[in-house]
Amino acid sequence: MSEFVPVARVDDVPPGEVKVVHARDKSLALGHCEDDTWGAIDNVCTHDGGVLGEGELEDCLVECPRHGARFDLLTGEVRALPAVFPVNAYPVRIRDGVVEVDVGVPTKPLEIG
């Protein structure tokens, strides 16, 4: 069931940036792509626990600040090693200048390594 919760204001995350936000008990990497698409993924790199929300965003890919693995902001799939396991992705919507993330979607436990 959908469970959208507010996590930031649109102005808090300029296009091309990713930041750490919190929704319920989840820490998330919220990104705003250059084409104005928004997405959110788990804030943990599955290679060795890097903080994805402190990384870089380019072409809707989040680059881990530790060893450079890349994750698709919209699907959570791995797009560049050294990570091999995906993270969960969460739907994002904008309401009245507020960014909301759906934390009600089914998720899988993360595999690290």
Q: Quote the least distance from Cβ 59 to ligand FES, whole Å.
A: 18
31 binding ligand FES? (CB under 6 A): no
Near ligand FES in 47-76, by CB under 6 A: 47-50, 64, 66-69
Contact predicate 52/69, CB 8 Å: no
- Token pair in block for residue 45: 């790199």
Contact predicate 31/18, CB 8 Å: yes
Q: Quote the least distance from Cβ 52 to ligand FES, whole Å.
A: 8
- Token pair in block for residue 91: 């739907």
Q: Quote the least distance from Cβ 10 to ligand FES, whole Å.
A: 28
- Please give the Cα distance from 45 to 41 (Å, whole number): 10
- Shorter beta-carbon distance to ligand FES: residue 8 or 64: 64
- Shorter beta-carbon distance to ligand FES: residue 22 or 67: 67
- Please give the Cα distance from 94 to 101 (Å, whole number): 9
